[in-house]
Structure 1
Amino acid sequence: MAYTIDRYPCEDAPRLGAMTLHPVAESVPRARRWFRKLITPYYPACSVDDCLLMLSELITNAVVHGKSDEPWVVRVEWFREGTSLRVEVHNPGLPGSVRLRHPDADDAHGRGLLLVDSIAHSWHAGPSHLGGTAVSFEMADAWPS
């Protein structure tokens, strides 16, 4: 199965784009490249590099923690809502397993959501409209009002 990119959303819809990716590590750099390419024409005022860092963390978590007995994918969608940018990452994992951790200095993992929490205006985890889990972040004032 190939990955898919939605380059041409409906003109008046809040969704700016979407990607469907294989749940493999190689999807992280692919998503970064495509997100940068697809968000740049919208001229966001927020740091695209910060968004790419958070996107990388959320996709990595989705790949590592997504679980299903059937073949599955990671779905990424991003939206303009007023002056804010919201990015969602969907996987078939359990919403209750998403939590902010406070790892010890010598722990090798567990810092992804800490990065998101420190950079984003807000973030949320809960049930996905696609089934499974959605984890999202919001960048306030991504566009002038």
Structure 2
Amino acid sequence: MNAQPQLLHTREAFYRRDRRSVHLAREFTREALADWTAVIRTDDVLLCVSELATNALLHGVPPGRGFRLHLALDSAGVLRIEVHDSGPGEIHAPEPSPEPSPEAEGGRGLLLVAALADKWGVGERDPGKIVWCEFEVRG
């Protein structure tokens, strides 16, 4: 009988639709990892938080709303990062563009998340969606 991993730590914060929110989400995550003394690929985690938060602001957060960042570390050593947005639209996994133009300002965020995280995906939320990624923690 396999027991489900237990949550050891969770943290959550809400951010307004504001450019500064990406920086604040990154700092919130950095502080949580330090408090939890999680031995993890911190730079990769922070880059993924930045990309998911930026995508939420650009594509998933209508004016007057915001997004929620949820962090969870479980007893199996998995850090899960979730960004909950409230935008309308179909619920499907955002597709990273395979080869963004060298001049393009965007189109690489989900490619980075897919390359850096151990897992990632999207889930339903009403309204909006949850885009998540996971990292295995060492130690």
Q: Secondary structure at the match of 2:92?
A: helix
What do residues 5-26 of structure 1 show as CA deviations (whole Å, max 9, x unaligned)? Answer: xxxxxxx745510110001111
Q: Deviations over 1:34-88 (max 9, x none)?
A: 211122111112111211111000000000002447x321100011132110000
Partners of 2:16 and 2:67 within 8 A in 1:
yes
Where do 5+ consecutive residues of structure 1 fail to align? Answer: 1-11
Q: 1:74 aligns with which of 67, 77, 84?
A: 67
TM (normalized to structure 2)?
Answer: 0.83
Moved more, 94-103 or 104-113: 94-103
Alignment-mate amino acid for residue 79 of structure 1 = A
Aligned match for 1:138, one of 126, 134, 138: 134
Poorly superposed stretches of 4+, deviation over 3 Å: 12-15
| Matched letter for residue 129 of structure 2 | T
RMSD over aligned Cα atoms: 1.9
Q: Which residue is 1:120 aligned to?
A: 117
Structure with bigger RCO (C-alpha 8 Å, 6+ apart): 2
**Distance verdict in 2 for CA 1:42–1:23, change over 3 Å:** same
TM-score (norm 1): 0.80
Q: Counterparts of 2:93 and 2:7 in 1: how far apart (Å)? A: 31
Aligned residues: 130
For 2:82, which of 79, 88, 94 is the aligned residue? 88
Which consecutive residues of structure 2, in runs of 5 or more, have no partner in the other structure? 1-5
